[in-house]
Amino acid sequence: MVGVKFLTSFASLPFGSKVAEQLKKDHVKEVVEHPLFCVGVLIALHFILFLVYKVSPLRTRRLHVAQRAYASLWLIVLVAVMQAALIEPDTQVDIAMHAYEGKLPDLVIHEDVEPIDALIAWAKLASKDHHPIVRESIYHEILDELCNQTETLVCTRTRAFEKLEMGKMTYFGEEYDIQYYNPSVDPVAQRNCTGISSGNADSCMVESAGLFCSRLIPPPDNCVRDLTAHIASQVEAVDRKRLDGKDTYSRLGLEMDAPGKSLESLGSLPCANLLTPPKS
């Protein structure tokens, strides 16, 4: 019943604004949000049904047990529908859940970090202790606010890359986290990563290494070359261990914002491989 805190749907009903104002009062909210509120409503409806039966012509007839059970069942359905109607299927539900369960962590977007990558990382962190918010409608609404309504942010893509932790680098006594946003989770973005002559590295890894090394003053000797090789080896190690992981998205080489078609196509591959008989 936490959704009753946001009652915008009542505005379109006759006297809706007055109903909403009454329901927003503290003493009314305390009653409505009580765990036994719906039980009380159900008992009250049964009592009203009993009174209607007593004053109606039906009182001369003796109702069968099945008829009474049928009426009670419909009352339960009515209460369930009423409860669902008070919880709107949009972002208001999630805002209410977070207000009820606790404060969400702050969404922090650092320099040179794509907003969509920061959004996914924030959503994963928030979902650990709060109501899950990585739902398509909510996710797109927040992304739209970041990319189209925030002047200081620039979005170059709308698909998140897989964030991989590559360890730490110690330089002049300071530790720096090595992170790589793997574009292979997005087939379209992966096409922009061209292979280079040294091992399994590609141009995207070189670009990421160059950005990391540019933050070190002065940059170490051969920083880009060595870091590119490190990223390539780490990505290869991650790919080898994917099927051993617990996270479904990671096992499929996808991120949480992957479209349904990608999940279906990649999710069917392990089953297809199991069903395909070995070649003789």
pLDDT of residue 61: 60
**pLDDT tops 60 at residue 15:** no
CA distances from 113 to 4, 59, 118, 133, 184 (A): 37, 73, 7, 21, 17
pLDDT of residue 90: 47
**H or E segment at 50?**
helix 37-55
Q: How far apart are CA 254 and CA 35, in angstroms?
A: 40
Letter string b/e over residues 113-152, b meaning 16 or more CB atoms within 10 A of that residue's CB: ebbbbbbbbbbbebeeebbebbbeebbeebbeebbeeeee
Two structure tokens written together for 13 = 């009903």
Helices (H) and strands (E) in the chain, counts: 12, 2
Who's near 129: CB < 8 A, 6+ residues apart? 101, 102
- DSSP E strands in the chain: the ranges are 162-171, 174-182
**pLDDT tops 50 at residue 5:** no
Decide: residue 108, CB within 10 A, 0-12 exposed, 13-18 middle, 19+ buried: exposed
Two structure tokens written together for 50 = 């009993």
pLDDT of residue 234: 93
Who's near 202: CB < 8 A, 6+ residues apart? 193, 194, 195, 196, 232
Q: Are 124 and 44 in contact (CB under 8 A)?
A: no
Residues 187-218 have pLDDT tens digits of: 888 888 998 876 789 999 999 999 999 999 99
| CA neighbor of 24 nearest in space, from 2, 1, 3, 5 | 5
Give the range among 54-58, 106-110, 217-221, 256-260 with minimum mean pLDDT: 54-58
Two structure tokens written together for 25 = 């009062």
- Mean pLDDT (the chain) is 75
Give the range among 89-103, 104-118, 172-186 with minimum mean pLDDT: 89-103
Q: What percent of the chain has pLDDT over 70?
A: 63
pLDDT of residue 137: 62
Give the range among 3-17, 48-62, 70-84, 180-194 with minimum mean pLDDT: 3-17
Of the ranges 4-8, 26-30, 199-203, which is most confident? 199-203
Chain-centre distance for alpha carbon 230? 32
Question: Could you give the 3-state DSSP secondary structure of residue 171?
Answer: strand
pLDDT of residue 164: 92
**pLDDT tops 90 at residue 231:** yes
Q: Are 8 and 92 in contact (CB under 8 A)?
A: yes
Q: How far apart are CA 185 and CA 249, in angstroms?
A: 9
Q: Are 252 and 266 in contact (CB under 8 A)?
A: yes
pLDDT grade, residue 92 (50/70/90)? low
Of the ranges 81-90, 102-111, 116-125, which is most confident? 116-125
Which whole number is the average pLDDT over 110-132?
A: 81
Of the ranges 35-39, 220-224, 263-267, which is most confident? 220-224
pTM over the 0.85 mark: no
Looking at residue 267, its amino acid is G
**H or E segment at 65?**
helix 65-85
Q: How far apart are CA 211 and CA 190, in angstroms?
A: 19
pLDDT of residue 258: 73
pLDDT of residue 69: 73
| CA neighbor of 162 nearest in space, from 181, 138, 187 | 181
Task: Name the more confident of 143 and 17.
Answer: 143
